[in-house]
Structure 1
């Protein structure tokens, strides 16, 4: 058995030589109106900041080499601003979520809270508990208009099992880059842990079958 496993791993290694490993992730971006969802997404995709967007829902595909991986992002920039607007098929489609609010808008923060809670409920219902979520407080450049503190954002993220970032899509490209790359890393880690769990369960079942057979002989 060990020899067969070693041979299989060697063959897999030869097949992957010369090309980086691939990672694909479906990312759903949601939040209230005028919080900068599209600005954040387009900033990541193009490095450019565009302040005004129409009420348009888009799905983008973006490929990039990062940390030795060939990463393919499929990003659904959703127009859903309230929990009632969210469709379950969107949440099932996603491998990870970015929930955006404006640090200057208390209403958008409450919408983010409701959306995070809705995602939690769906994850429990579908058994997709490992799908990662990042809460993003946008418009950090408007400190003089701030109505939600960084601590409030961190506490909300902690209470909903989410990661947290405060950024300004208007000021820098770096913030958008960090958010999307962090989520991709989290998706990769969640898949690895799931595969390990499945592998361990398989080993346990195999060993149980072997030892069970020996006891009956």
Structure 2
């Protein structure tokens, strides 16, 4: 059961999970969105943030679950299953300098869709993000490879540098939110953000909420 809700004609709320392997810039991407600042080093902390913005005159609130990577991250694990159930959309991050992180993205797409299919949603909105575009001299994954993966899986695709560009990061989340609105993931009794955080507090090492 997902949390995409429209509380009025002028407000909408949705849940987004950010996934990817270690050191690809997941937290840097999220914090860049929230604060416009780039911070290069982060601890291995499970966090949920809130971010609000205006889009076409409507107030949009994104609840963003920044998730550390685990080697056993698959649809068989309880925590992964809960994350997928909670989310209305996903940001899958890889580093253009790390081919293994790109290869993991394909597996994550398959696992997300397999888990979602059990709940009547075969193709939840997914944005594939190639990060660290500023390190082009260390590139091992071509832009065309990311584009082809997105095309073959019906996902959005972006290449960004969380270190250099706030607006590139902004386009990722706004583009995903547009896709979520198009898909209109709704339910009769949507699971609210506060309720899911309370019920799952045991799995968090820490919860942090920033509202802009």
Q: Shorter-chain-normalised TM-score: which range?
A: 0.7 to 0.9
Who is 2:112 aligned against? 119
Measure, in 1, the Cα distance between the counterparts of 2:40 and 2:56: 30
Question: Highest Rg: 1 or 2?
Answer: 1
In structure 1, which of residues 30, 33, 49 is the aligned counterpart of residue 38 of structure 2?
Answer: 49
* Superposition map of 1:81-160 within 5 A: 81-82=70-71, 83-84=73-74, 87-160=80-153
Measure, in 1, the Cα distance between the counterparts of 2:94 and 2:60: 26
In structure 2, which of residues 21, 27, 30 is the aligned counterpart of residue 32 of structure 1?
Answer: 21
> How far is 1:64 from its partner?
1.8
Task: Provide TM-score, normalisation by structure 2.
Answer: 0.78
> Which stretches of structure 1, 4 residues or more, deviate above 6 A after TM superposition?
none
Structure 2: gaps spanning 5 or more residues: 1-7, 188-212
What secondary structure is seen at the aligned counterpart in 1 of 2:54? strand
C-alpha contact 1:35 1:100 (8 A) present in aligned 2:
yes
Moved more, 80-89 or 121-130: 80-89
State the Cα RMSD in Å. 1.8
C-alpha contact 1:27 1:97 (8 A) present in aligned 2:
yes
> How far is 1:125 from its partner?
2.5
Who is 1:73 aligned against? 62
What secondary structure is seen at the aligned counterpart in 2 of 1:32? coil
C-alpha contact 2:113 2:123 (8 A) present in aligned 1:
no
Structure 1: gaps spanning 5 or more residues: 1-15, 196-217
Q: Which has the higher contact order (CA 8 A, sep 6+)?
A: 2
Measure, in 1, the Cα distance between the counterparts of 2:123 and 2:107: 19
Measure, in 2, the Cα distance between the counterparts of 1:162 and 1:118: 14
> How far is 1:123 from its partner?
2.6
